[in-house]
Amino acid sequence: MRQSIENKTALITGGSKGIGYGIAAALMAEGMHVAITSRSLAAAQKAADELNQLGKGKAMAIEADVRDYSSQEAAVQQLMDKWGRLDLLVANAGIGHFAPIEDLSLAQWHETIDTNLTGVFYSIKAGLEALKSSKGFFITISSLAGTNFFAQGSAYNASKFGLTGFTQAVMLDLRQHGIRCTTIMPGSVATYFNNHEPNEKDAWKIQIEDLGQMVVDLMQMHPRTLPSKIEVRPSMPG
């Protein structure tokens, strides 16, 4: 039997566009309330206003930077002050710098690791006690780049290989508290990632609503069962 998620709450980092936005829209259609974070409050508020026109659930905007632990603590507290519980934390915020190792700058390396890996650590640490109380769900958005390396991907591969391993280890730590953890590892997705502008040529790619539906399915699955690592790719090559 599918579990009801109506009136449950979620915090989605980097939720103002792309995959995070698609997940928020899918959850809200099922009646969940969602807080989306962005380093830009204006971007988060614009997205929340759009989302509030779409779903049964409610959206709120929070300005937060995953690279700053106190910022993540404040984001969780804002959600708790408004809704009183945290049922789902989606660590989605991510960035990519791609260059041969001789051209990759120190700043690009640190921004990639600090956002894609340390930022996820900060997110779960900030939300941990709230998730323990709700016996909630922790989902990270890794990538097929977290298991498949490629040229000019040293920083990104390192961050996503690390994120995949991090989430699997955290899953083993947290299931004793009734918290479920899953990492989703998408291939090509039609998003704004790396300054791409989604267009009709992206029709072959995974769409953000597909990943949104996947998160809904995970939330509605009986809690005795946990798909802990999910690889997902387009059905056909582009």
pLDDT digits (tens, 9 = 90+) for 157-208: 999 999 999 999 999 999 999 999 999 999 999 876 766 777 888 899 999 9
Residue 55 pLDDT: 74
- What local confidence, expressed as pLDDT, does residue 197 receive? 76
pLDDT, residue 236, reads 87
Check residue 194 and give its pLDDT. Answer: 65
pLDDT at 200: 84
The CATH homologous superfamily to which domain 9-232 belongs is NAD(P)-binding Rossmann-like Domain (3.40.50.720)
pLDDT beneath 70: ranges in the chain: 192, 194-195
- Position 119 scores a pLDDT of 98
Indicate the residue type of 218. Answer: L
Extents of the domains making up the chain: 9-232
Closest C-alpha among 232, 212, 235, 188 to residue 22: 212
Q: Point out the catalytic residue in the list 21, 122, 156, 192.
A: 156
| Whether 122 is catalytic | no
Amino acid 191: pLDDT: 79
Order the strands of the 229-232 sheet from edge to edge: 59-63, 33-38, 9-12, 88-91, 137-141, 180-186, 229-232
Q: Which of 142, 127, 145, 149 is nearest to 229 (CA)?
A: 142
- The pLDDT, as a whole number, for residue 190 is 86
